[in-house]
Amino acid sequence: MAFPERFKDLPDYAFPRLRALLDPHAPGDEPVVMTIGEPRHAMPAFLAKTLNAHLDGFSRYPANGGVAPLREAIGGWVQRRYGVALDPQRQIMALNGTREGLFNAMLALCPERKRGAQPAALIPNPFYQVYAAATMAVGAEPVYVPATAESGFLPDYAALPAELLDRVAVAWICSPANPQGAVASRAYWAELLALAERHDFRIFADECYSEIWRDAPPPGMLEAAAEGGADPERVLVFNSLSKRSNLPGLRSGFVAGGPECIARMLQLRTYGGAPLPPPLQQVSVAVWKDEAHVEANRELYRAKFDVVEEVLGDVPGFRAPDAGFFLWLAVPDGEAAALKLWREAGVQVLPGSYFAREVDGIDPGKQYIRVALTGPLEEVRTGLTRLRARLYD
């Protein structure tokens, strides 16, 4: 019996790979898990009451693209956050987690051919792994573009050959970046939009870490597109409540873009999607409307970054990220460092190569580890102190 070949180049996902690396070994101390980007701060206090008030909604099928109050709440948040007015019913679609939207956007919007050839999709390297899977699912060519210290940890798509850019159908970009925490500036967004106009491709902007920042809110693609007068169909922006509101299990996000793009995604969702259950949509309305819990959440992360500076600030070459809740730490070898930390200190981190692809013999994640700062403050301090002692002292 035959199986599809299009996913043959997908490696095992990061966490099964980590288990295979670490499970044969006992931890060297009481385990401190600093791997998964699952927020562990408290949920908004009002959530349970809101959910209980709408439990009868489980008896009804969900609205496909989100009930009107949810789309309006998201539109209101976009207006407050970015100063951009969207049509909630035509330019916003609720998602069952942004990973669903990131994957299905390729199915709905990537053409089968681009200028008579196989379309290409630009992917920052390292990257969130759904970008590659979605690209392969539609038969497009994944083009992994290094996002390293030399490029400010963001991909330099403009440096690619013009003949390749002419085949590009979609350019993926994550800001604040996972795993490096780099933030795209307004100038970066403007240059990427100009490149997309010149070579006629769409931009899929993953902004799920936009609300976890230290000093200033990261600019977003929607405001850059509005300021530059870009075609609304040129840009899709994805965000969620997972990181902003410590609700990864709610699986509530959104995609915003041009009316035709949203209509095509909604059409696909009608046939094969999984809309957010009605009570969870109502909870999401309340959460998008409230900013007090978001600022309280940021303060908790700021306290952790104070600890980061205290413990690692004088390590040669250390760079604190601009936003997000990951550290992207340089080491001689990521897998060796992760195994050493586990065996000697009980600290669990992820090798950077698990987020990257080797291209032309170079793996831009190989000499890094990703460290998540999602645990309680003192747990973070313990983990970082042990990490420093084993890797840098």
Q: Does domain 59-290 have CATH number 3.20.20.450?
A: no
> Minimum mean pLDDT among 44-58, 168-182, 300-314: which range?
44-58
Report, as an integer, the average pLDDT of 110-130. 95
Strands (E), the chain: 32-33, 92-95, 120-125, 141-146, 168-174, 202-206, 235-240, 253-257, 326-330, 347-348, 350-351, 368-372
Q: Are 14-42+293-391 and 59-290 in the same CATH fold? A: no
Report, as an integer, the average pLDDT of 47-62. 92
Distance (Å, whole) CA 205 – CA 238: 6
Identify the pLDDT of residue 10: 81
Report, as an integer, the average pLDDT of 388-393. 94
Identify the pLDDT of residue 11: 81
Kindly list the domain boundaries of the chain, sorted by start residue.
14-42+293-391, 59-290
User: Angle, to 10 degrees, between the axis of helix 221-228 and the axis of helix 186-199?
Assistant: 60
Identify the pLDDT of residue 297: 96
Report, as an integer, the average pLDDT of 50-69. 92
Distance (Å, whole) CA 79 – CA 231: 18
**Torsion sign across C-alpha atoms 62, 67, 69, 75:** positive
Identify the pLDDT of residue 6: 85
For the record, the structure tokens of 198 come out as 């010149």
- Rounded to two decimals, the pTM is 0.96
Distance (Å, whole) CA 299 – CA 44: 14
Report, as an integer, the average pLDDT of 69-92. 97
Region of 319 on the Ramachandran plot (φ > 0 left; ψ -120 to 50 alpha; else beta): beta
Which CATH number describes the domain made up of 14-42+293-391? 3.90.1150.10
What residue type is assigned to position 179 of the chain? P
**Cis amide linkage into residue 155, ω under 30° from 0:** no
Indicate if the pLDDT at residue 150 is higher than 90.
yes
Identify the pLDDT of residue 7: 85
**What contacts 158, CB < 8 A, 6 or more positions away?**
191, 195
- Given a contact cutoff of 8 angstroms between Cβ atoms, the answer to whether 281 and 94 are in contact is yes
Indicate if the pLDDT at residue 37 is higher than 90.
no
Report, as an integer, the average pLDDT of 235-258. 96
226-244: pLDDT as tens digits: 999 999 999 999 999 999 9
Indicate if the pLDDT at residue 43 is higher than 80.
yes
Mean per-residue pLDDT of the chain: 95
- Given a contact cutoff of 8 angstroms between Cβ atoms, the answer to whether 219 and 176 are in contact is no
Confidence of residue 3 (pLDDT cuts 50, 70, 90): confident
Distance (Å, whole) CA 365 – CA 333: 9
Indicate if the pLDDT at residue 273 is higher than 80.
no
Indicate if the pLDDT at residue 268 is higher than 80.
yes
